Amino acid sequence: MRRVLALIAVIVTAILLQSTVFSQLRLLGVRPELLYLVTILIALQEGPNEGAVVGFTCGLAQDMLLDQPMGITALTLTLLGYAVGMARQYIVSPSPLVPTIVVAISTALGVAFYEIVTFLLGQFEAGFTYAVKVALLTALYNAVLTPILAPLLRRIVEGSRPRRVVRL
């Protein structure tokens, strides 16, 4: 229960920050995708199961606040959380840069997937160049935020794990 509440608090905080503070802090006209970042970091740390569930929850929460058909972000982040969670078994490097690189690549792919789905549903009217620009700049922005947010998120997730009681 404590874990669920902690993750809900993380998601609500990410939504609030993205719609207020970070909407003013644009990088070349683009804002970060904090819910993508949260999904990727949790999937990287906890695996595909929690990655998919957290991704679905994050996506649905974001969909509630967007003027788009609901479910597109939920679909995107579910698949993103699962894919990153599955990919972590192939990551063997202990380099501290790994999360940053994974976040950059995953964000770019996730945003591109979202743009393709919205385009297929007739909800994306911007051109191809703009779509690529948004995907790449969002990836860059999320990568810049990773060293700041990853340790914080790791501490919250690890601190909310149920404690095992060993009886001797």
Partner 1 sequence: MAARSGPRNTRLLVVALVVASLTIITVDYRQGDSGPLAAMGRTARTFMAPLQEAVTNVTRPVGNFFSGVAHLPSLAQENTDLKQQLADAQARINATSQIEAQNQELLSLLNLKQSLRPPSVPAVVISNGMSNVNYYITIDRGSNDGVRVNDPVVTGNQDGARLVGIVARVTSISADVRLLIDEGFSVPGRLATSGETGLVVGNGDQDLTMQDIPATTTFPTGTSTESVFTITYSVGDQHSRFPPNILIGTVSSVVQGGVQPDATVSVRPAVDFSSLEAVLVLQTANGGSS
CA gyration radius, the chain: 16
Instruction: State residue 157 phi and psi, 5-degree precision.
Output: -65, -45
Selected range binding partner 1 among 93-101, 102-110, 124-132, 144-152, rule: CB under 8 A: 124-132
Q: Which helix (H) or strand (E) holds 81?
A: helix 72-87
- Residue from 21, 97, 116, 152 touching partner 1 (CB under 8 A): that is 21
Selected range binding partner 1 among 24-32, 91-99, 100-108, 148-156, rule: CB under 8 A: 24-32
8 binds partner 1 (CB under 8 A): no
88 binds partner 1 (CB under 8 A): no
9 binds partner 1 (CB under 8 A): no
If the CB atoms of residues 4 and 97 are measured against partner 1, the closer one turns out to be: 4
Write out 6-31 in H/E/C secondary structure.
HHHHHHHHHHHHHHCHHHHCCECCEC
Selected range binding partner 1 among 42-50, 94-102, 142-150, rule: CB under 8 A: 42-50
Report how far apart the first and last C-alpha atoms of the chain are (Å, whole number).
26
- Going by C-alpha positions, the residue among 129, 91, 117, 109 that lies closest to residue 36 is 109
Structure tokens that stand for 25 in this block: 């802090």
* Site for partner 1, rule CB under 8 A: 3-4, 7, 12, 15-21, 23-27, 29-31, 33, 47-50, 52-56, 59-72, 74-75, 78-79, 82, 111, 115, 118, 121, 124-126, 130-131, 134, 138
